[in-house]
Amino acid sequence: MIGYSRRAALAAAALILCPGGLAYAASGQDIALKGNGQGAMACSACHGKLGEGNQEVPRLAGLNAGYIVHQLVSFASGARQNDVMGPIAKALSDTDRQAVASYFAGLNPPEAKTGGAAKPDLIAAGAVLAQRGEWTKGVPACDQCHGPAGSGVGSAFPRLTGQNASYITNQLLSWQKGDRHNDPLGLMKGVATKLDKTQIESVAAYYASLPLSGKATPAIATPFRTEAAKPVSTPAAFTPPPESAIPNNEFGKMVRLGEAIFTDTQHYAPGFVGNSLQCANCHIDRGRLANASPLWAAYVVYPAYRSKNKHVNTFEERLQGCFRFSMNGKAPPAGDKVLVALQTYAYFLAKGAPTGVSLPGRGYPRLKKPAKLDYAHGQEVYASHCAVCHGAEGQGQFSAQGDTVFPPLWGAHSYNWGAGMHSISTAAAFIKANMPLGEAGTLSDQDSWDVATYIDSHDRPQDPRFNGSVSETRKKYHNSAMSMYGQKVNGVVLGENSPPSGTVPAPH
């Protein structure tokens, strides 16, 4: 085995820098096809020559290399328990793991035959869970982390597209049972615990059924019967109608267009968006979830006077404000189809809600202001609880096709200095009630305040009302301890060097 390993290392001629000095390492392909000669058998024995997997073992081809490495580390440490993979992972050096991971990450073999086709009903039910989640139980849509059609996002959220069904099922059951616990923030443990067996099988069948092209499938086209969303911790007085209640007529088409704009604002409201956000990033469960600024609660309290612009705003003008500030874009003109569609969608969600009544679940529940806002502690909270999704630099994460999966929280692609979320109190309230996604309420009030302080102490696109002077603009629009605009942070006055507002920056 040693001889083979050396030959492989020489053949690969890969010069790797190791802590102890220079050494030749086995190529990823060699390890995959022949083993590392140090006790790790060939991966291909089980996973197939191209990592295509089969009915029992997972497809490795196309998985993120960092994700594969993390799994091998977990198998070795026992964080992920598997009698076969444990010893193999232990026998692989760090260098071996990186090499073999990179090898499989770069492959894209055709679909393996992983068993008979699942029943269409099962797949359809899985599609709902994958694309909508089940927010009545606090379960986010799988795609909210794993990307459109489970295409995979970064090293923490593996590709699910075309993964074999029995493997997905087994992993979800392992998280439920506690056999596997190498997931970031315990997110998968949390999700799996809330699912029943049928749901697990259905979502597994759905992802297994997806073509490996990697292209996102269109949004759910046929109206599934889904339960309307209710918050887990704070029951709302109001439940919006299920998606299945959208009628199949011209009105229903407008509702669906509004929903499409709301969830994929980039593509459905082109020209009006100047960052990488979607409406649904801050309005969880497509504007349905209480305490996540649900559309139904907002719709019924307009027209209303807003101190922000000091006059009575219709709901339409309120939407225009979202585009101008939160979306860092341009307000669609009054009467524009984008606004009509969003109004119609909100109206549909508000069916039966009393006009002019502030409903429980409206906005984000305000938090009592703490004695102190701690930037440094916020930075720690961010690193431990937020960075895995939103990126170490708040830059967000995107699918391979460029779709926003995790929104950028600062920088040129995020909300601008005029958006409500730039206020620390608003951000803290949102975070406490909704973050981390699917694990809402796990952060303390102080953690929420501090991480909001940290996030909102970073630069972002200029306030569109900027008049050339940061100090004057602060005085006029930001005269509050809750706004960091115009304040000095890490030696820089925020707002002085902000990217311009309302312009679409270069893609990520």
Contacts of a second copy in 251-270 (CB under 8 A): 251, 254
State which residue, 305 or 372, has the beta carbon closest to a second copy.
305
Give the SS3 label for residue 314: coil
Give every CB contact of residue 113 below 8 A, 6+ residues apart in sequence.
54
How is residue 173 written in tokens? 């059951």
State which residue, 303 or 500, has the beta carbon closest to a second copy.
303
- Please confirm whether the linkage preceding 241 is cis (ω < 30° from 0): no
Question: Is 477 an interacting residue with respect to a second copy (CB under 8 A)?
Answer: no
Residues shown for the chain: 508
Give every CB contact of residue 284 below 8 A, 6+ residues apart in sequence.
135, 140, 292, 434, 437
State which residue, 340 or 400, has the beta carbon closest to a second copy.
340
State which residue, 10 or 312, has the beta carbon closest to a second copy.
312
Distances (CA, A) of 38 to 18, 25, 41: 17, 12, 8
Q: What are phi and psi of 496, to 5 degrees?
A: -70, -35
Measured from the CB of residue 231, what is the shortest distance to a second copy in angstroms? 20
- Contact indicator for 161, 150 with CB cutoff of 8 Å: yes
With CB under 8 A as the contact rule, which of the stretches 164-172, 266-274, 294-302, 465-473 interacts with a second copy?
294-302
Candidate list 3, 250, 376, 507; residue touching a second copy; CB under 8 A = 250
Measured from the CB of residue 315, what is the shortest distance to a second copy in angstroms? 9
Of 222, 266, 214, 270, which Cα lies nearest the Cα of 244?
222
- Contact indicator for 492, 459 with CB cutoff of 8 Å: yes
Question: Is 302 an interacting residue with respect to a second copy (CB under 8 A)?
Answer: yes
Measured from the CB of residue 334, what is the shortest distance to a second copy in angstroms? 3
State which residue, 311 or 508, has the beta carbon closest to a second copy.
311
State which residue, 259 or 447, has the beta carbon closest to a second copy.
259
Q: What is the Cα–Cα distance from 49 to 43, expressed in whole angstroms?
A: 8
Distances (CA, A) of 124 to 64, 209, 460: 27, 10, 40
Binding mask 433-452 for a second copy (x = CB under 8 A): --------------------
With CB under 8 A as the contact rule, which of the stretches 75-83, 126-134, 273-281, 300-308 interacts with a second copy?
300-308
Question: Is 299 an interacting residue with respect to a second copy (CB under 8 A)?
Answer: yes
Candidate list 81, 82, 170, 314; residue touching a second copy; CB under 8 A = 314
Contacts of a second copy in 330-359 (CB under 8 A): 333-335, 340, 343-344, 347-348, 350-357
State which residue, 83 or 250, has the beta carbon closest to a second copy.
250
State which residue, 222 or 249, has the beta carbon closest to a second copy.
249
Measured from the CB of residue 309, what is the shortest distance to a second copy in angstroms? 11
Total residues contacting a second copy (rule CB under 8 A)? Answer: 32
Q: What are phi and psi of 404, to 5 degrees?
A: -70, 125
With CB under 8 A as the contact rule, which of the stretches 8-16, 192-200, 306-314, 430-438 interacts with a second copy?
306-314
Question: Is 403 an interacting residue with respect to a second copy (CB under 8 A)?
Answer: no
Question: Is 237 an interacting residue with respect to a second copy (CB under 8 A)?
Answer: no
Q: Could you tell me which residues are beta bridge partners of residue 304?
A: 313
- Contact indicator for 340, 219 with CB cutoff of 8 Å: no
- Contact indicator for 296, 353 with CB cutoff of 8 Å: yes
Question: Is 305 an interacting residue with respect to a second copy (CB under 8 A)?
Answer: yes
Residue holding tokens 């295409």? 151
Question: Is 304 an interacting residue with respect to a second copy (CB under 8 A)?
Answer: yes
How is residue 137 written in tokens? 């139980």
Candidate list 113, 177, 311, 372; residue touching a second copy; CB under 8 A = 311
State which residue, 280 or 319, has the beta carbon closest to a second copy.
319
Measured from the CB of residue 248, what is the shortest distance to a second copy in angstroms? 12
State which residue, 255 or 277, has the beta carbon closest to a second copy.
255
Question: Is 248 an interacting residue with respect to a second copy (CB under 8 A)?
Answer: no
How is residue 505 written in tokens? 């920056």
The interaxial angle of helices 424-434 and 445-455, nearest 10 deg, is 130
State which residue, 210 or 353, has the beta carbon closest to a second copy.
353
Q: What is the DSSP letter of 500?
A: P
Measured from the CB of residue 256, what is the shortest distance to a second copy in angstroms? 11
Candidate list 100, 279, 295, 300; residue touching a second copy; CB under 8 A = 300
Reported for 5-10, long-range contacts at CB under 8 A and 24+ positions apart, including other chains, are 5/36, 5/37, 5/38, 6/37, 8/34, 8/36, 8/37
State which residue, 237 or 392, has the beta carbon closest to a second copy.
237
Burial annotation 311-334 (CB, 10 A radius, 16+ → b, else e): eebebbbbbbbbbbbbbbbbbbee
Give every CB contact of residue 327 below 8 A, 6+ residues apart in sequence.
265, 272, 273, 274, 275, 277, 279, 415
Residue 109: CB atoms within 10 Å: 15
State which residue, 347 or 398, has the beta carbon closest to a second copy.
347
Binding mask 356-375 for a second copy (x = CB under 8 A): xx------------------
With CB under 8 A as the contact rule, which of the stretches 49-57, 103-111, 228-236, 307-315 interacts with a second copy?
307-315
Question: Is 303 an interacting residue with respect to a second copy (CB under 8 A)?
Answer: yes
Q: What is the Cα–Cα distance from 382 to 376, expressed in whole angstroms?
A: 10
Report the interface residues with a second copy, using CB under 8 A: 249-251, 254, 299-300, 302-305, 310-312, 314, 316-317, 333-335, 340, 343-344, 347-348, 350-357
